[in-house]
Structure 1
Amino acid sequence: MIAYVTVGADDISRARRFYDAILPVLGYALREGPEGLSYALPVAPGERPVLPDFYVKPTYDGRPASAGNGAMVAFELRAQAQVRALHAAGLAAGGTDEGAPGFRESYGPQFFVGYLRDPQGNKIALFSSDPDEPGRDG
């Protein structure tokens, strides 16, 4: 099980604007501190944490943050409309388009996905694969 994902950012306020447009809709709450941004899903008293947490932090070694070539973080959404809405919200919050929401020929017929780059260049996927929604072939 993945416990957490961390992406680097040189400008934490720009990163916060971007991730605040997406992650709270997915249920993540923000805790900001001197070490950066920590987004976590709520935990009911007596329950174990729901993973993964998502962290946005300056680099540990102090060198400029860079996006990994081939690295991507994907968030699963409930519906295609939510993929469209959060993709648009990410663009409005300083992200760049890496692939408009839609079906991809190389994926399954229900896999609806949109791709973004955060302000630092980290690749983010937003997808839904709800079998009750229209598919690529339907």
Structure 2
Amino acid sequence: MIAYVTVGADDIEAANRFYSAFLPALGYSMTQGSEGLSFALPVPTGEAPIHPDFYVKPTFDGRPASGGNGTMVAFEAADQVQVRALHAAALAAGGSDEGQPGFRANYGPRFYVGYLRDPQGNKIALFSSNPNEASRDD
């Protein structure tokens, strides 16, 4: 099981604007400390976390942060409407478009996804595979 994912950021305030534009809508709470941003989904009392936490932090070695080539973090939305809304919100909060929301020929018929880059260049996907919605084949 993946326990957490961390991406680097040189400008924590820009990262905060970007990630706060969509992660709270997906159920994440955020805390900010001297070491950056921590996003987590709620964990019921007495239970262990089942979803990974997501951290945005300055680099440990002090060199500039960079998005990894081939590295991407994907967040699941409830439906296609939420994918579109959160993609737009993230763009308005300083992200850049890497692929407008829609179906992709290379993926399953229900995989609806939009791609972004955060202000540091990390690649982010917002997707839904909701079985109660139309597929690309409908």
TM-score calculated relative to the size of structure 1:
0.97
Deviation sequence 1:52-80 (CA, Å, 0-9, x none): 00000000000000000000000111100
Could you tell me whether the CA contact under 8 Å between 1:6 and 1:56 is conserved in 2? yes
Unaligned runs of 5+ in 2: none
Q: How does 1:42-57 map to 2 (within 5 A)?
A: 42-57=42-57
Could you tell me whether the CA contact under 8 Å between 1:38 and 1:55 is conserved in 2? yes
Partner SS, residue 43 of structure 1: coil
Residue 106 (structure 2) aligns with: 106
Partner SS, residue 24 of structure 2: helix
Could you tell me whether the CA contact under 8 Å between 1:42 and 1:50 is conserved in 2? no
Partner SS, residue 54 of structure 2: strand
Question: What percent of counterpart residues are identical?
Answer: 74
Residue 117 (structure 1) aligns with: 117
- How many residue pairs get aligned? The number is 138
Unaligned runs of 5+ in 1: none
> CA RMSD of the aligned region, Å?
0.8
2: CA distance, partners of 1:45 / 1:21 = 27
Q: How does 1:84-95 map to 2 (within 5 A)?
A: 84-95=84-95
Residue 5 (structure 1) aligns with: 5
Q: How does 1:1-138 map to 2 (within 5 A)?
A: 1-138=1-138
Deviation sequence 1:63-108 (CA, Å, 0-9, x none): 0000000000001111000000000000000000000000011111
TM-score calculated relative to the size of structure 2:
0.97
User: 4+ residue stretches of structure 1 with deviation over 6 A?
Assistant: none
Structure 1 residue 127 displacement after superposition: 0.5
Partner SS, residue 135 of structure 1: coil
